[in-house]
Amino acid sequence: MPRDRRPELEAAVVAAGRHLSKRFEGWIIATPDRRRFAVRITSYPEVDISIPFEWNATPGEATERVRAAMDD
């Protein structure tokens, strides 16, 4: 992931979780094939979600998809 994209995507992930009352941890990681990236959300022991994205995903798209995954 280009260095200039990481801060805006991190901010999008944080924004997606602001409405939650429970604490979660999140990482932005490369997918195993290194063709995409994923946001991985965890909260031991009950949550382990990985949401894949294309490299050109927008911060708005990241916020929306992470929020939807957390609300499920």
Q: Flag whether pLDDT at 43 surpasses 80.
A: yes
Q: pTM to 2 decimals?
A: 0.79
| Span 15-25, average pLDDT | 83
pLDDT of 44: 73
- In sequence order, what are the residues at sequence separation of 6 or more whose Cβ sits closer than 8 angstroms to the Cβ of residue 58? none
**Residue where the block lists tokens 């280009």:** 2
